Amino acid sequence: MSSRRIHIVLIGFMGSGKSTIGHLLASKLNRPLIDTDREVVEREKMSISAIFEQKGEKYFRKVEREVLLSALNSEIPAIISTGGGAPCFLDGMDYILRSSISFYLKVGRASLFSRIYGDKERPLVILKTKHELIQFIDLSLRKREAFYTRANKTILAYDNPDKIVERIIKYYNKEHI
Ligand code: S3P
């Protein structure tokens, strides 16, 4: 694909700041923001928790993949903020690498834990005790980093959001303009 203005995709674990950074990037670069979670909810007319509960995770992953592919196929270069599992299931990461420049927003376990513990919206977090959530983050991060680290660039995402956005734009401009 042309190296001129291509999609920017943000990937990373739940709580890594993809939505916040996505909004800032979209307004700074004056691009549309496509949030795959939001697209799934709109398409299915159900919350993500309800989809997991009533239709199961496998169904969610199928819809998530469709939504991701249609975002990547859209003509107007966009900022695409993905759900934490989107690059890790089916062929999500292959598509991301083919059609965008991607950034892994990397945040350590302790920060991820404090950002998502007690969350009532995320089905993979709801009802987990502290101990269960720590174990879940440890185990899934180990598996998922095999996908996340294939991103074009890993960004340590502890800084304040404006600084993270600056670093993303700097890298994008250096590589793709
Ligand atoms: C998920 C992450 C969520 C959402 C769903 C599953 C995951 O998105 O897609 O609850 O598997 O990590 P966020 O990363 O935006 O929370």
Q: Which residue has the higher pLDDT, 4 or 119?
A: 119
Q: Do 34 and 64 meet the contact criterion of CB atoms below 8 Å apart? A: no
The residue whose C-alpha atom lies closest to atom 4 belonging to ligand 1 is 83
37 lines ligand 1 (CB under 6 A): yes
Summarize pLDDT for 148-162 with one digit per residue, the tens.
999 999 999 988 999
Give 158's DSSP letter.
Answer: T
Rounded distance from Cα 177 to ligand 1 centre (Å) = 31
85 lines ligand 1 (CB under 6 A): yes
Average pLDDT over residues 73-94: 96
Summarize pLDDT for 102-127 with one digit per residue, the tens.
999 999 999 999 999 999 999 999 98
12 lines ligand 1 (CB under 6 A): no
Q: Evaluate if residue 17 carries a pLDDT over 60.
A: yes
Task: Name the token pair of 49.
Answer: 């928790």
Rounded distance from Cα 174 to ligand 1 centre (Å) = 30
Pick the atom of ligand 1 nearest to 124's CA.
10
Spatial distance between the Cα atoms of 94 and 150, rounded to a whole number of angstroms: 9
Q: 71 exposed, middle or buried (CB, 10 Å; 0-12, 13-18, 19+)? A: buried
Pocket test for ligand 1, best of 104, 115, 122, 141 (most atoms within 8 A of CB): 122
Summarize pLDDT for 126-135 with one digit per residue, the tens.
989 999 999 9
Return the percentage of the chain with pLDDT > 90, whole number.
93
Spatial distance between the Cα atoms of 17 and 111, rounded to a whole number of angstroms: 11
Spatial distance between the Cα atoms of 101 and 8, rounded to a whole number of angstroms: 5
Q: Evaluate if residue 8 carries a pLDDT over 90.
A: yes
Question: Average model confidence (pLDDT) for the chain?
Answer: 95
39 lines ligand 1 (CB under 6 A): no
pLDDT at 175: 85
Q: Evaluate if residue 50 carries a pLDDT over 90.
A: yes
pLDDT at 177: 60
The residue whose C-alpha atom lies closest to atom 3 belonging to ligand 1 is 83
Give 3's pLDDT tier (boundaries 50, 70, 90): very low
pLDDT at 176: 74
Rounded distance from Cα 2 to ligand 1 centre (Å) = 30
